[in-house]
Chain A
Amino acid sequence: MLTGPRPRAACDAGDDVRDIEMSVRDPDRFGAIFDRYFGEIHRYVARRLGDEAADDIAAETFLTAFGKRHRFDASRGIVRAWLFGIATNHMSHYRRRELRKYRAMQRAGAALPGEGPGDPVADLVTAGAIHRRLAGALAKLSHGDREVLLLIALGGLSHAEVAAALGIPYGTVASRLSRARRKLRAELTAEAATSGQEDEDDG
C-alpha cells in the first residue's frame, strides 16, 4: 500500500500509471506517486527559484496533480512528464522573480544580495565570470526556449518527456533546444570577446 521513497530506477512507467489509475478510487495510492517524485520536482524547482518557492510550488504541483488524477491520460504521456508540466505551469507565476534572479546573478561580483531565507547564494559567490555571463544569457532567452532548456538540463527529461510536459510537438522541443543552446553560446562568446562589459545591467 504505502511505499517509502523508491529510487527511480526501481519503478517503471507501468507502476506509475497503475498507481494513478487506482488512486482515482483509492486516493491513498497517490502516496506512491508523491513519494516517488516529490523530491525530484522539489529539487528541480529549487534550482531555478530557491528552496522556499520550491516548498510552495512542489506542494501545489502535487495538490493539482491529485485533483486531476482522474483526468490523467496514460496514452498521452508518462506521469513524470505530467508532473513536470504541472510544476512548469505553477512556476510561470514566478517568471519575473526568476528573471530578476538571473540578472542579479549576472551582476554579482564577490557577493549577491540574498533573496530571503531558504535561498542561500553561497554557491554563487564563487561563480566565475562565465557563469555570470551565462546568467545574463538565460534571462534573455524566450520563455519557451528557456523552459525546454531547463527541463532537459536540470530536470533530466528526455525530448519526448519535454514534449509531453509542455504539450508541444516533439520536433519543437528539438528546435527550441538547439535555438536556446545557440543563443547561450553566442552570448557567452560575444561577451567573452568584449570582456569587462559583463557587469552592465541589461535592465
Chain B
Amino acid sequence: MDELQLVRELLAERAAPRPEVVAGARARTLSGSARPRRRHRAAIRVVLPVSAVTAAVAAAVVTTVILPASPPELGVFQLPAGAAGARVGSAADGKRILLTAARTTAGARPPVTGRYWVSPAVVGNFLRVGPSGGHYVVLEKVSNQQWSSNSPRDSSPDVTQALGVQLASPADLAAWRRAGSPTTWDTGQSTSIADPRGLTSGSLYHLKAGPAPPATGTVLYNRDQTFGVGDKLLSARQLLKLPTDPARLTALLLAGYSPTRGDGGPDSYLFQTVPGILAMPVTPAVRSALYRILAGLPGVHSLGEVRDAGGQQGVAVTLDGGYTHCASRFGASGISWTFSSCVVQQRLVIDPATGLPLAQELRYLRLPPGQTWSPPDGLFSFQLFGTAHWTNSSPPVR
C-alpha cells in the first residue's frame, strides 16, 4: 500500500488557476513594488468637498463608457494655468501650512461608518512611446476607485477605469500623426502614481488610446483588512486605534520602510505614504498627527498657492530630493534603472478649507542625465484625490 499515492488520488490534481486570477495576483504582487503594501500606493484619496473635478471623477467611474467604433482623435494635455513654475518658499512657511492643516483636520467630525469605504482618485502618468527616432509623449489617465469592505464577509474590489490617452503637447500630437496615429502601445504599466524615482508599478502593459469600461481586480485576501499602515494591513476598526502621538505613529509607519539602493530615505518615504493614510477613515486626531509628522520633516518647504494638475486651487508643500537609480518606464523592455540620477520634487497640494489633500505630484527638477525629453513642467506623475466616503451601496462592478 502506498499511502502517498492514495493521498495524491484523494486530493486530486486541480486545474491551473484562471488567467484573470493569475493576472490580478501578478499585478498586485508587483505593484507592491514601490511601497511595501499595496494600499500605500493606491489608496491615496481623502474626504473632500465635491469640486467640479472630483464630481467628474466620480461620474466617470460609475458610468459605463461607450467605446467609439473608430479610433479616437486624441486631445492634447494642457497644464492648468497656475500649475507650473511655482517658486519654492521657505521651510517655515511649509511647516506653517502643514500645522494649519493639522489644526483644521483635528476639528473635523470623526467618520461614521458604512459597508464600504470608497476612495476614488485619478492617476496620470506621462510616458514616452512611439518608434525610435519618432518618439512622442502621452499622458495616460486612469480612474481608480477602491472599495474597502468593512466586513470580513465582503471582499474589497478595486474598480479601475482607463480614461483615455492624451498627447503631452502639440508637438507630440504632430509626432503621433507622423507615426500613423496608432491607438495602442506596449509600455510600462502606469496605473498608479510613480515613486519619486519614476518607478511605476511593473509589468508590461498594453496601453490603449480610448477610454475603457470599468474593470475590477477584486481583493479577495484579507477581505476587510485592506488599509496598509506601516508593515500591517488593517481593518477600518483597527484604523480607529492608531496612536495619535506623532512619534509613536512615525515608528509605526516606518515599520513599513525598508531602504533600497538610491531611494530618498525615510523622510521621502513618509512624504509619499502619509497622504495615502490621510485618505483612510482615520480619526481627526490621527489625521492631525499625520500632518504634524510631515511638518517635522526638515526638507519640507512651502510652494504657496498653486493649482494642481487637475486645476484645483490649493496650497502646496514640497520635499525635493536627489535620487540615484532613477527608473525608465519606457520601451518594451519594461522597467529598468537606466538613469544614474534625477532630482525630483514631491508635491502635496492641500485644500486649505478642509485641510485635506487635493493631489500628489512628482516633477523632475533635474532630468535624469541622458533623458532627452521632459513632460510638461517636468510633471511625470500625479494623483488627484476624489471624494472618499462611507457607503452602504454595492460596488458598480464585481
Min distance, Cβ A155 to any Cβ of chain B, angstroms: 11
* Inter-subunit contact B202/A28 (CB<8 Å): yes
* Inter-subunit contact B36/A25 (CB<8 Å): no
Residues of B within 8 A of A82 (CB): none
Determine if B109 is an interface residue (Cβ-Cβ < 8 Å).
Answer: no
Measured in the bound complex, the distance between the Cα atoms of B10 and A150 in whole Å is: 12
Residues of B within 8 A of A57 (CB): 221
Min distance, Cβ A94 to any Cβ of chain B, angstroms: 12
Number of interface residues of B (CB under 8 A): 47
The number of A-B residue pairs with CB atoms under 8 Å apart is 144
Q: Mark B1-41, 1 if CB is under 8 A from A, else 0.
A: 10110111111111111000110111011101110111000
In the complex, the chain A residue whose C-beta lies closest to that of B35 is: A67
Determine if B64 is an interface residue (Cβ-Cβ < 8 Å).
Answer: no
CB-contacts of A10-47 with B (<8 A) = 24-28, 30-31, 34-35, 38-39, 42-43, 46-47
In the complex, the chain A residue whose C-beta lies closest to that of B33 is: A27
* Inter-subunit contact B29/A59 (CB<8 Å): yes
- Within 8 Å by CB of A60, from B13, B202, B221, B333, lies B221
Q: Mark A86-129, 1 if CB is under 8 A from B, else 0.
A: 00000000000000000001000000000000000001000100
- Contact segment of A131-139, A161-169, A195-203: A131-139
Residues of A within 8 A of B178 (CB): none
Determine if B282 is an interface residue (Cβ-Cβ < 8 Å).
Answer: no
Determine if A154 is an interface residue (Cβ-Cβ < 8 Å).
Answer: yes
Q: Mark B212-223, 1 if CB is under 8 A from A, else 0.
A: 000000001110
Residues of A within 8 A of B24 (CB): 59
* Inter-subunit contact B202/A38 (CB<8 Å): no
Determine if A153 is an interface residue (Cβ-Cβ < 8 Å).
Answer: yes
In the complex, the chain A residue whose C-beta lies closest to that of B334 is: A1
* Inter-subunit contact B337/A25 (CB<8 Å): yes
Determine if A81 is an interface residue (Cβ-Cβ < 8 Å).
Answer: no
Residues of A within 8 A of B11 (CB): 47-48, 150, 154
Determine if A58 is an interface residue (Cβ-Cβ < 8 Å).
Answer: yes
* Inter-subunit contact A135/B335 (CB<8 Å): no
- Contact segment of B91-99, B167-175, B258-266, B273-281: B258-266
Q: Mark B332-359, 1 if CB is under 8 A from A, else 0.
A: 0111110000000000000000000000
Q: How large is the interface on A (under 10, 10 to 19, 20 to 34, 35 or more residues)?
A: 35 or more
- Within 8 Å by CB of B6, from A26, A66, A131, lies A131
Determine if A62 is an interface residue (Cβ-Cβ < 8 Å).
Answer: yes
Determine if B307 is an interface residue (Cβ-Cβ < 8 Å).
Answer: no
* Inter-subunit contact A59/B337 (CB<8 Å): no
* Inter-subunit contact A34/B3 (CB<8 Å): no
Residues of B within 8 A of A79 (CB): none
Residues of A within 8 A of B33 (CB): 27-28, 30, 66
Determine if B199 is an interface residue (Cβ-Cβ < 8 Å).
Answer: yes
Min distance, Cβ A7 to any Cβ of chain B, angstroms: 13
* Inter-subunit contact A188/B333 (CB<8 Å): no
Residues of B within 8 A of A173 (CB): none
* Inter-subunit contact A2/B203 (CB<8 Å): yes
* Inter-subunit contact B14/A135 (CB<8 Å): no
Residues of B within 8 A of A152 (CB): 4
Determine if B141 is an interface residue (Cβ-Cβ < 8 Å).
Answer: no
Residues of B within 8 A of A55 (CB): 17, 21, 25, 220
Determine if A70 is an interface residue (Cβ-Cβ < 8 Å).
Answer: yes
* Inter-subunit contact A56/B3 (CB<8 Å): no
Residues of B within 8 A of A39 (CB): 16-17, 22
Determine if A63 is an interface residue (Cβ-Cβ < 8 Å).
Answer: yes
Q: What are 26 pairs between A and B in contact, CB < 8 Å?
A: A24-B261, A25-B261, A25-B262, A27-B34, A28-B202, A31-B26, A31-B30, A31-B202, A34-B26, A42-B22, A43-B17, A48-B11, A55-B17, A59-B24, A60-B222, A63-B29, A63-B32, A66-B33, A67-B37, A70-B258, A131-B10, A134-B10, A149-B7, A150-B7, A153-B8, A188-B3
Binding site for B on A (CB under 8 A): 1-2, 24-28, 30-31, 34-35, 38-39, 42-43, 46-48, 51-52, 54-60, 62-63, 65-67, 70, 105, 123, 127, 130-131, 134-135, 138, 149-150, 152-154, 181, 184-185, 188
Beyond the given pairs A26-B335, A66-B32, 7 more chain A to chain B contacts, judged by CB atoms under 8 angstroms and listed by A's residue number, are A2-B334, A25-B262, A27-B202, A56-B220, A59-B221, A62-B25, A66-B33
Please give me the 8 A-B residue pairs with the lowest Cβ-Cβ distance, nearest first.
Answer: A27-B33, A59-B25, A46-B14, A60-B221, A1-B334, A184-B3, A42-B17, A62-B29
Binding site for A on B (CB under 8 A): 1, 3-4, 6-17, 21-22, 24-26, 28-30, 32-34, 36-38, 199, 202-204, 220-222, 231, 258, 260-262, 325, 333-337
